[in-house]
Copies of this chain bind each other. A is one copy, B any other.
Amino acid sequence: MLQFQCDYIQGCTPEILKRLSDTNNDQFPGYLADDICASAVKKIQKAVGIPDADVWFMIGGTPTNQLVIDSMLQPYEGVVSVTTGHVNVHESGAIESTGHKVITLPAHDGKMCADELRELMKRFYADETFEHQVFPGMVYISHPTEYGTLYSKAELEALAAVCHEYSLPLYVDGARLAYGLASRHTDVTLEELARIVDVFYIGGTKCGSLFGEAIVFTKNNTPSRFFTRRKQHGGLLAKGWLLGIQFDELFTDGLYLRLGKNAIDMAEYMKEGIAAKGYPFLLDSPTNQQFPVMTNEKLKELEGKVLYSTWEPVDETHTAVRFATSWATTKEQVDQLLALL
């Protein structure tokens, strides 16, 4: 069975596996107080171009979003997200379970519009009842978005401008950041991203590691007692060096970007192939997730041959689906997929 349903279907890049083997008989202090974590932090600080960036390792995406958002908000504040944002839709209420509303704006191919954000803030403070409402307290976006789309540098800067005008931290969910950075259609580098936003995370789980996400506070803005907050939220790994290993390898010799590039090369190749067969796309995605629109009949035909994600019905007889490539996808796999379409 071909598998294109998502980008977390396979273990990890061989460098990480090797490091796990090499260190398996070594002994380490627990709770990320080890040298490998320290080395990984240094490499990330260098990669993001901020020597004093504050880097914290977590295991997965949902707990990372929950921890960052809950820690940066006051209890009377909510987080602004587009309706299709991961925190609004696919985290089983993890954000609300910590007491915070997700305040929504319309999604434009998964993206937030700076003007709409400004309008929201203006309206909020103009409303005579605003003290009876949830205060917008920070902004959540993802890059790439859940629809594979990317913000341009100008768009990010426009969002940041509104955020800073209203003292809202701008937070970027980078679960698939490698694929955003490696896209052929982006002007946002890791350094630019770090410079513009207030906090973001570098995704490992979907980009080549066994697990792991690296939160980066870029502006000396780490919430107080973040170590303890992480533990309280259940996000402190006892054998913390395992997280260190993931990122120490990903950030050695540009591996993170190279893994991203493989997914992009395969996605572009797949996209071309699908388009050549005459399928339209739900939208034009510049990253590893592609959303062709197929007849329900065709999809039935694919059953048992390839796994994909059902995205959304387009009309009575057509459905948009998602095929995702990853750091591990091979040309052979894509060719097999194309042969089926």
Give the number of chain A interface residues (Cβ < 8 Å): 75
The reply to whether B211 and A242 form a contact with Cβ atoms under 8 Å apart is yes
Residue in B8, B24, B62, B234 whose CB lies within 8 Å of A60: B234
Which one, A113-121, A127-135, A281-289, is touching chain B? A127-135
**Nearest-CB distance from A93 to chain B (Å)?**
4
Residue in B3, B24, B234 whose CB lies within 8 Å of A62: B234
Residue in B6, B14, B70, B229 whose CB lies within 8 Å of A24: B14
Q: How many copies does the complex hold?
A: 4
Alpha-carbon distance A118/B275, docked complex (angstroms): 37
Q: Quick one: CB contact mask for A221-240 with B, threshold 8 Å, 1 for yes?
A: 00011011101111111110
The reply to whether A9 and B25 form a contact with Cβ atoms under 8 Å apart is no
The reply to whether A27 and B14 form a contact with Cβ atoms under 8 Å apart is no
Question: Closest chain B residue to A233 by CB distance?
Answer: B234
The reply to whether A11 and B17 form a contact with Cβ atoms under 8 Å apart is no
The reply to whether B6 and A135 form a contact with Cβ atoms under 8 Å apart is no
Which residues of the other chain, B, contact A91 by a CB distance below 8 angstroms? 132, 231-232
Does any Cβ of B come within 8 Å of A205's Cβ?
Answer: yes
Alpha-carbon distance A28/B61, docked complex (angstroms): 19
Q: Report if A96-B96 is in contact (Cβ < 8 Å); known contacts: A17-B20, A235-B234.
A: yes
Which one, A45-53, A71-79, A248-256, is touching chain B? A71-79
The reply to whether B24 and A17 form a contact with Cβ atoms under 8 Å apart is yes
Given A59-B237, A91-B231, A133-B228, 13 additional A-B pairs, CB 8 A: A6-B30, A20-B210, A60-B237, A63-B235, A71-B75, A78-B96, A92-B134, A92-B232, A96-B99, A128-B309, A131-B225, A211-B237, A211-B239
